[in-house]
Amino acid sequence: MVQSATLSPLTRGESIPMTWEEFLDWSPDEGQSEWVDGEGIAYVSNSERHVRILVFLTELLGRYVRVLDLGRVFVDSMILRLPTRPSGRMPDLFVVGREDLGRVQHQWVDGPALLAIELVSEESVDRDTRVKRAEYERAGIAEYLTIDARLGHDGVSLYRLDAEGRYQSIIPDSLGRLHSAALPGFWLDPAWFRQDAPPEVDDLLLEIAPIAYEAWLLARLRARRGAEDPA
């Protein structure tokens, strides 16, 4: 039995044997932690660039998924439990489809997501680009997006399961954009992540899904006006 007293101070990067139930009690509130092969591990804190990209993607994908009613976006400390290894992974961001929301528990989601996103840091290169890619493929996560958040790096890769359940790298279109099939109509431009400041989310949504987003904004505006002037 893992006692919380043995984990003070928390040593990041150190694997500690524990059961799934013990991991749920132990997992720290700050930073990323995961459960793999019966061991819990907490990772190092993220960089400013990592956080900036994550905040941008959370707002963009969160609003897109909400506007089109595709499911829910989870970020930061929500755990994705994958029975194939088994493991409890904590992607930087992942999307669960509307039909699968019944698998959402208090601290974790049982089974694969539609889309998982990992932001590559200095200490996670091999884990994100090789280990998790193979693990997410076996678990049946439909699409896997990696974005290199290290200073001086800007690689963006999108993988999609083919008919045989193997990840295939998605080729950008003629404008350099990567199109998602898991989130119909959604695309992203790797150039966004090379900028010091990310683009405005409203501008992007009006470009990616202009009809749906305009209708959603108008509906919200009418609802607010109705609430302010019920007469």
Q: pLDDT tens for residues 115-148?
A: 999 999 988 999 999 999 999 999 999 999 999 9
Q: Which domains does the chain have, with CATH numbers?
A: 1-45 (no CATH), 47-225 (3.90.1570.10)
Look at residue 129 and give its three-state secondary structure. Answer: helix
CB-count exposure of residue 203 (10 Å: 0-12, 13-18, 19+) = exposed
pLDDT of residue 1: 39
Is pLDDT above 50 for 49? yes
pTM of the full predicted structure?
Answer: 0.87
* CA angle (227, 62, 148) in 5-degree steps: 155
pLDDT digit string, tens, across residues 133-186 = 999 999 999 999 999 999 888 899 999 999 999 999 999 999 999 999 999 999
Q: Which residues contact 18 (CB under 8 A, 6 or more apart)?
A: 2, 26, 35, 38, 39, 40
Cβ atoms of 142 and 115 closer than 8 Å: yes
pLDDT at residue 221 greater than cutoff 80: yes
Contact 206, 214 (CB under 8 A): yes
Query: When comparing pLDDT for 79 and 231, which is higher?
Result: 79
pLDDT at 7: 44
Answer whether residue 4 shows pLDDT above 80: no
Contacts of 53 (CB under 8 A, 6+ apart): 119, 147, 149, 193, 198
